[in-house]
Amino acid sequence: MANHHQQVLRHYINGCYVTGKSGRLGDIYDPTQGVVAKQVALASKAETQMAIGVAAKAFPAWAATSAGKRAKIMFRFRDLVQQHMDELAVLLSAEHGKTLEDARGSVTRGMEVVEYACGISQLLKGEYSAAVAIGVDSWNMRQPLGVCVGITPFNFPAMVPMWMFPMALACGNTFILKPSEKDPSVALRLAELMTEAGLPDGVLNVLNGDKEAVDVLLRDERIAGISFVGSTAIGEIIYRTGTAHNKRVQALCGAKNHMLVMPDADLEQVVDAIMGAAYGSAGERCMAVAVVVTIDDHTSDAIIEKLLPRVRALKMGAYTDEAVEMGPLISPEAQSRVKGYIDQGVSEGATLVYDGRNATVVGCEDGCFVGATIFDNVTKEMTIYRDEIFGPVLSIMRAGGYEAALSLINEHQYGNGTAIFTRDGDAARDFTQRVQIGMVGVNVPIPVPMAFHSFGGWKQSLFGDHAMHGPEGVRFYTRLKTVTSRWPSGIRSGAMFDFRAGGEY
């Protein structure tokens, strides 16, 4: 019986389900009703070491498999994901709470990374320099790191793992995925589909767990690379501990994304963009728009006037209702955290234009819902501006001028995404050149790069040197080896005591 129908979710190791024996369990909520629906086994140290052993044993044969053969498995996996799209979306939404349309969209974005990974033979091609000296050639290749780990957040339980493992596997690494313990079912199902696609056992393993498992993964000498996506507080620890143990680490972290609306912007387009980007997935996106910045009062007033009827009409509810536009937060804890931020915004003096604290859904009265919320007159000293709220709470800031708006964005600790809405090409060009942010949209509110580009922020939004997927993904999951070769040809250059390539130029 497949794991996701069980009440206690198991690990997926070496191509089959393994019952957790640690005795520790994590709760998985049905967030629409606010009740614990399932539990998940949290791995012990010994179980984590066992999973590492399995992935390490599978590595040599997988690394020696041709890139073309690895790609064929990816092609089959891609088709299986497409065939099982609706099933994957239901698994995801039941635990996360986001709408089915949003869930399907996120799986599709993950599938695009698989499509990119199908071209791995081309992506791994090295460089070659013939005759760098007389009779000497030089060339390079990219080789896999070994066993890699993915530690992923709850908000994109399929897409973020799919940013990682397809690239890692296509490059020839074996992989241990440690998904969020809040909604791991869809990741387990993806691993099953990889097996069905022909992936050898042990190459992709899903280990459920929390800090106890992660602490082992960060230190074990058999682990070569760690990809993390999650909050900044945890990501920084992952980065510092992993690198201190000689691992390559990329940690993509928290965000506070600003949308700058210039006075000449198309306000109908702006309001559509705000609705989707601030309240889609209940604001639980690292690319959500959390702050709208204007440079004149007229624009702020006009946005609020147009936004209010839209927010009032926003349909909140369970994912099972296809008409719903916004679901609940992930857990009662997240719900009270977000409500706490709204309380704090009020006490710090922001103007609460629309209050989502008491919004409820008929039939889901105990669900983890927080309604769409709007604050105006937010200032940069306020906690609701400095912190990532990760909920459906929008702040409007009146910067007073373009340079002040740009400085505001550049001074924020986070640098994940941003957008400018304008009809002025000069303003857009200046903004894209000078803004200190990793992903920038021009009249695009959520500028998530396509799979063949790379995803990653700046400042406290990314620790490490590599963004995810696209060309950066290939660089992260491989290391460069450069070969200088000479074949005996009767040419002798004599002993050389200088630093040339091995002969006469």
Residue 109 in tokens = 């974005």
- Give dist(CA 128, CA 453) in Å, integer: 25
Contacts of 271 (CB under 8 A, 6+ apart): 303, 306, 307, 310
Nearer to ligand NAD, 252 or 260 (CB): 252
- Is residue 462 classed as helix, strand or coil in its secondary structure? strand
Nearer to ligand NAD, 120 or 160 (CB): 160
* Binding of ligand NAD by 178 (CB under 6 A): yes
- Give dist(CA 394, CA 282) in Å, integer: 11
The correct pick among 151, 158, 176, 261 for binding ligand NAD (CB under 6 A) is 151
Nearer to ligand NAD, 154 or 375 (CB): 154
The correct pick among 58, 147, 255, 270 for binding ligand NAD (CB under 6 A) is 255
Annotate 109-120 with b (16+ C-beta within 10 A) or e (fewer). Answer: bbbbbbebbbeb
Q: Which residues are catalytic?
A: 286
Residue 294 beta carbon to ligand NAD: minimum distance, rounded to whole angstroms: 24
- Is residue 330 classed as helix, strand or coil in its secondary structure? coil
* Binding of ligand NAD by 112 (CB under 6 A): no
Contacts of 85 (CB under 8 A, 6+ apart): 104, 107, 108
- Give dist(CA 73, CA 91) in Å, integer: 23
Cα–Cα distances (Å) from 303 to 275, 309, 403, 442, in that order, read 11, 11, 21, 18
Contacting range for ligand NAD; rule: CB under 6 A; set: 92-100, 178-186, 265-273, 474-482: 178-186
* Binding of ligand NAD by 227 (CB under 6 A): no
Contact flags string 194-223 toward ligand NAD, x per CB under 6 A: ----------------xx--x---------
Residue 27 beta carbon to ligand NAD: minimum distance, rounded to whole angstroms: 13
Residue 109 beta carbon to ligand NAD: minimum distance, rounded to whole angstroms: 12
* Binding of ligand NAD by 464 (CB under 6 A): no
Any idea what DSSP says for residue 65? S
* Binding of ligand NAD by 152 (CB under 6 A): yes
* Binding of ligand NAD by 423 (CB under 6 A): no
Write the Ramachandran bin of 282: left for phi over 0, alpha for psi from -120 to 50, otherwise beta: left
Q: What are phi and psi of 464, to 5 degrees?
A: 115, 180
Contacting range for ligand NAD; rule: CB under 6 A; set: 37-45, 50-58, 146-154, 168-176: 146-154
- Give dist(CA 209, CA 189) in Å, integer: 17
- Give dist(CA 201, CA 15) in Å, integer: 4
Any idea what DSSP says for residue 445? S
User: 3-state secondary structure string, 217-235?
Assistant: HHHCCCEEEEEEECCHHHH
* Binding of ligand NAD by 416 (CB under 6 A): yes
Contact flags string 329-368 toward ligand NAD, x per CB under 6 A: ----------------------------------------
Cα–Cα distances (Å) from 383 to 31, 132, 344, 407, 458, in that order, read 26, 59, 8, 18, 21
* Binding of ligand NAD by 30 (CB under 6 A): no
* Binding of ligand NAD by 251 (CB under 6 A): no
Residue 77 beta carbon to ligand NAD: minimum distance, rounded to whole angstroms: 22
Question: What is the chain's Cα-based Rg?
Answer: 25
Residue 11 beta carbon to ligand NAD: minimum distance, rounded to whole angstroms: 14
* Binding of ligand NAD by 476 (CB under 6 A): no
Please list every residue from 62 through 91 that binds ligand NAD, using CB under 6 A: none
Residue 404 beta carbon to ligand NAD: minimum distance, rounded to whole angstroms: 26
* Binding of ligand NAD by 457 (CB under 6 A): yes
Residue 443 in tokens = 């009249």
Interface with ligand NAD by CB under 6 A: which residues? 151-156, 160, 178, 180-181, 210-211, 214, 229-231, 234, 252-255, 286, 388, 390, 416, 457, 461
